[in-house]
Amino acid sequence: MTVDIPVLKTKRLVLRGPEPEDYPNFKSTFTSYRARFMGGPLNDYETWMLYAAEIGHWQIRGYGMWMIHDRVTDKPLGMAGGWKPAKWPEPELAWIIWPETAGHGYALEATHAARQYLYYTLGWKTAVSYVDPKNLDSIRLAERLGAKRDDEAATVDGNDFVYRHPAPERLRGTQLAHGIEMEIENYADPLFKPKGMPID
């Protein structure tokens, strides 16, 4: 059975399934220093295998990581979505932004949209993000999404922090959700440049 990958749209972004033409951007990131918090940098073979896993994950799990594209230019910006390979204790809400596009709030906008789909369409009751303790940008992003460190939860390998996201009923229509949407709106406004804000 082939899974039809849904397309998500936000004010600035289009999230769609990974395609072969997206591979060069994926490879350039995962073979670079940018991948140091995700087991990298990877060699060419490891990167190809991981990208094949990204595509196959959708067919095996029924969900996966979307490719993030600029809604106007179609420029690839990164990835966000659900991720649960073998040995992962729980389904993860994950993200990565290509180095040249960091700092514009794309990860926040894409991950917020992905979480809403996983919660309100697929029915997830909870979500975690596994974060390298040294990855301060991802820790800040998890916190901006309302996630809190859960030291009682099982980790992937003992070397990561677990950030647990608010349950769906604690997110919909709340001040937190409105705050996230307000921050996204601020990033979308070209006249607004956040000062002192964590970047993603």
Q: Tens-digit pLDDT profile for the chain (200 aa)?
A: 678 999 999 999 999 999 999 999 999 888 877 667 666 688 999 999 999 999 999 999 999 999 999 999 999 999 999 999 999 999 999 999 988 888 899 999 999 999 999 999 999 999 999 999 999 999 999 999 999 999 999 999 999 999 999 999 988 888 988 899 999 888 876 555 545 544 45
**Contact yes or no for 15/114 (Cβ under 8 A):** yes
Alpha-carbon span 55 to 73, nearest angstrom: 23
The confidence score (pLDDT) of residue 31 equals 80
Q: Under DSSP, is residue 139 helix (H, G, I), strand (E, B) or coil?
A: helix
- Tokens (6 digits) for 27: 């490879």
